[in-house]
Amino acid sequence: MGQKMTDLISEAEEALLHTYNRYRIVLDRGEGVYLYDLEGKKYLDFVAGIAVFALGYSNDEYKDTLKAQLDKLLHTSNYYYNVPAIEAAKRIKKMSGMDRVFFTNSGAEAIEGAIKTARKYGFLKDGRTDHEIIAMNHSFHGRTMGALSVTGNSHYRDPFEPGIGNIRFADYNDFDSVMKNVNDKTCAILLETVQGEGGLTPADPEFLKSIRKVCDERDILLILDEIQCGMGRTGYDFAWQKYEVKPDVMTSAKALGCGVPVGAFMMTEKVGQNSLVAGDHGTTYGGNPFACAAVNKVLEIFERDKISDHVKELTPYLWGKLDEICAKHSSVKEHRGAGFMQGLVFDKPVAPVINKALDNGLILINAGANILRFVPPLVIEKEHIDEMAEILDKCIED
Ligand SMILES: *Cc1c(COP(=O)(O)O)cnc(C)c1O
């Protein structure tokens, strides 16, 4: 590595709070599905900013929209209407089948909104203030206090206890474990349709259907976190659409803005009519014209160019390539996931493989210490999958 990048990394370590063990590259620009570091080295990107850059880095239509909005108006306030937010909300409704949208700045904030929605829904029903939410072990919902409180990973949670309280954890894909936690205080069951950070685990169809059923029977809200698995990542606009299990509340972020920080929580009309009202929730930046211009254009491109169908078509190809790698190397124990959200489970930490891959011009990321996670831009083609598999095979070998 050249002096310039080494110096910059030292400066970063002096100035930034040390909450990440960063890989030692300074990324500078993107082109197509490739990233370049400050010294001009090219990397095939199979991370996409962790499931964010669905459209890759060279979508001129998207960039021109942002440039035009920049010249027009960046921000107003949610006390006024703006055209991009109205159009983006209409598109989200159409794509998700949800009825009401609230824009946030991040995924964690979308989860906060979903939690508040559930608590208010329960409160309006019976006036109690001790409602419980059932969340899943090995889940990930974000780093703010509310989102952290429903994150089923004690390593992330313990140093910050107490959380918001009245949260119970059940085992993912174990309906009995969920039922053991259901009682007359339960106002919501929250889960990722496909667990991301916790290990690329899709929900079993029967598990999800059973949860939907108990929610219907007991007027409990089903909240699906689609922040990572939504927006085409599994070959469906939202992962739950494959299961035909519609949530009452859902969250989105990551690829929703394809690089512009934005998230959303949405709900059915019934929940909208029986939860948050004027004064209950708000945000300064959330839903501003700039972020919503991005969402609006992203959703337009998704619909017109059938991005989810592209993922569905190429999924077996990526699956096959990673299966080959799984079969060939004894250190790889399991291959799982859905769509362009796959993981290889190793019998040891994957950091050395990731560093090797970086040396060889491939950007990969982990999910937990022993799992290699594949969340590439959704616009990759077979040639990129071939290139990735070739480099990865060599790196595991070494
Ligand atoms: C990334 C992620 C979040 C948190 O989103 P942020 O934008 O980082 O706050 C929440 N849930 C899931 C499933 C995620 O993958």
| pLDDT per residue as tens digits for the range 97-140 | 999 999 999 999 999 999 999 999 999 999 999 999 999 999 99
Find the 47 Cα to ligand 1 centroid distance in Å.
14
Tell whether the model's pLDDT for residue 350 goes beyond 90.
Answer: yes
Same domain, 164 and 232: yes
The CATH number covering residue 195 comes to: 3.40.640.10
The answer to whether the CB of 366 falls within 8 A of the CB of 373 is: yes
Find the 22 Cα to ligand 1 centroid distance in Å.
19
Percent of the chain with pLDDT over 70: 100
The CATH number covering residue 41 comes to: 3.90.1150.10
Task: Note if the pTM is more than 0.75.
Answer: yes
Return the pLDDT at 398: 87
Last residue of a domain, one of 256, 276, 305: 305
Tokens of 269: 């009309």
Q: Is there a domain that residue 388 lies in?
A: yes
Q: Which of 20, 141, 192 to mutate to test the pocket of ligand 1 (most atoms within 8 A of CB)?
A: 141
The answer to whether the CB of 266 falls within 8 A of the CB of 101 is: yes
Count the residues in the chain: 398
Q: Which atom of ligand 1 is nearest to the CA of 226?
A: 13
Find the 228 Cα to ligand 1 centroid distance in Å.
7
Q: Which atom of ligand 1 is nearest to the CA of 225?
A: 13
Find the 369 Cα to ligand 1 centroid distance in Å.
18
Q: Is there a domain that residue 163 lies in?
A: yes
Last residue of a domain, one of 305, 321, 356: 305
Tell whether the model's pLDDT for residue 2 goes beyond 90.
Answer: no
Q: Which of 140, 238, 249 to mutate to test the pocket of ligand 1 (most atoms within 8 A of CB)?
A: 140
Same domain, 296 and 332: no
Number of domains present in the structure of the chain: 2
Give burial (CB, 10 Å; 0-12/13-18/19+) of 299. buried
Same domain, 297 and 317: no
Rounded to an integer, what distance in angstroms lies between the CA atom of residue 351 and that of residue 67?
Answer: 38
Find the 142 Cα to ligand 1 centroid distance in Å.
5
Same domain, 43 and 78: no
Q: Is there a domain that residue 325 lies in?
A: yes
pLDDT tens column, 15-40 = 999 999 999 999 999 999 999 999 99
Last residue of a domain, one of 267, 287, 305: 305
Closest residue by Cα to atom 10, ligand 1, is: 141
Return the pLDDT at 327: 97
Return the pLDDT at 274: 98
Rounded to an integer, what distance in angstroms lies between the CA atom of residue 348 and that of residue 344?
Answer: 11
Q: Is there a domain that residue 222 lies in?
A: yes
Query: For residue 1, what pLDDT band results from cuts at 50, 70 and 90?
Result: confident
Same domain, 101 and 40: no
Rounded to an integer, what distance in angstroms lies between the CA atom of residue 353 and that of residue 204?
Answer: 30
Tell whether the model's pLDDT for residue 141 goes beyond 90.
Answer: yes
Q: Which residues line ligand 1 (CB under 6 A)?
A: 106-108, 111, 140-142, 192, 196-197, 225, 227-228, 253-254
Same domain, 258 and 288: yes
Domain range holding 31?
A: 3-59+307-397
Give burial (CB, 10 Å; 0-12/13-18/19+) of 271. buried
pLDDT tens column, 177-187 = 999 999 999 99
pLDDT tens column, 37-83 = 999 999 999 999 999 999 999 999 999 999 999 999 999 999 999 99
The answer to whether the CB of 277 falls within 8 A of the CB of 72 is: no
Same domain, 252 and 383: no
Q: Which atom of ligand 1 is nearest to the CA of 197?
A: 15
Same domain, 85 and 36: no
Closest residue by Cα to atom 5, ligand 1, is: 107
Tell whether the model's pLDDT for residue 144 goes beyond 90.
Answer: yes
Same domain, 366 and 269: no
The answer to whether the CB of 96 falls within 8 A of the CB of 238 is: yes
CB atoms inside a 10 Å sphere around CB 390: 13
Same domain, 297 and 311: no
For 154, residues 6+ apart whose C-beta sits below 8 A from its C-beta are none
pLDDT tens column, 263-283 = 999 999 999 999 999 999 999
Same domain, 78 and 196: yes
Same domain, 122 and 257: yes
